[in-house]
Amino acid sequence: MKYKIEGQNFPVLICTLDNGEAMITQSGSMAWMSPSIDMKTEGGGGIGGAFSRMLSGESIFRNVYTSNKNDSMIAFSVSAPGQIVPVEITQNRPLIVQKRSFLASTTGVTTKVYFNKKIRTGFFGGEGFIMQEISGNGIVFIEIFGSAIEYNLKNNESLLVDTGSLAFMDSTCTMDIQIVKGIKNILFGGEGLFLTNIKGPGKVALQTMQISELANLIIPFLPEKRSNS
């Protein structure tokens, strides 16, 4: 499989597949493809796999696109302004990603729900409770809202980030929540009550935009629904 990422604010992933090669994606992510590619919709992983994807914010079903000749093309588009980041997945390097960020992958990659073991992080950490764990062997393409800023954290080195800004991290990293200090900071600082504390070792990718913030910007401009009275 060969790939290239084109476009700027709304990028697209364009893959070239040889005969027998396949890509997995969520339903609705395919933008265009060659007629020599066959699509099959499946649950993947049975009831447990479907339930796991539902909890992690993904579609219950997934589409598998398989090429029946060499040099077939298929493209996958993002759902919001942002960036597409390719990550090599190995058995020794699973990845923890935020909900709704899985765009596409090769067939050797599997996804399942990831629960943060710390209860308080689950209740107050926003995206921190239910995320996705991506494992196996292959390449996964992650959809980032805004731009991706990456850091390599050393052992016990940490970052405090706004809740929801974490895009993905190595499974060797840990995360917890921290209460913002100071009543005035909490009431008037605009950052909420909690911050997410991410601790190394491992790679961390942060996103410069949150989809909830984008929605809040758009909502005031949507036409109001009027009753038929």
The pLDDT of residue 66? 97
Q: Which CATH number fits domain 2-208: 3.40.30.10, 3.60.160.10, 3.30.70.20, 3.40.630.10?
A: 3.60.160.10
pTM confidence score = 0.81
Report how far apart the first and last C-alpha atoms of the chain are (Å, whole number): 57
User: 167: phi > 0 → left, psi -120 to 50 → alpha, else beta; which?
Assistant: alpha
The pLDDT of residue 128? 47
The pLDDT of residue 187? 44
Which residue stretches of the chain have pLDDT < 50?
47, 56, 119-128, 182, 184-190, 229
The pLDDT of residue 157? 96
pLDDT tens track for 96-146: 998 778 999 999 998 888 876 554 444 444 444 578 899 999 999 999 999
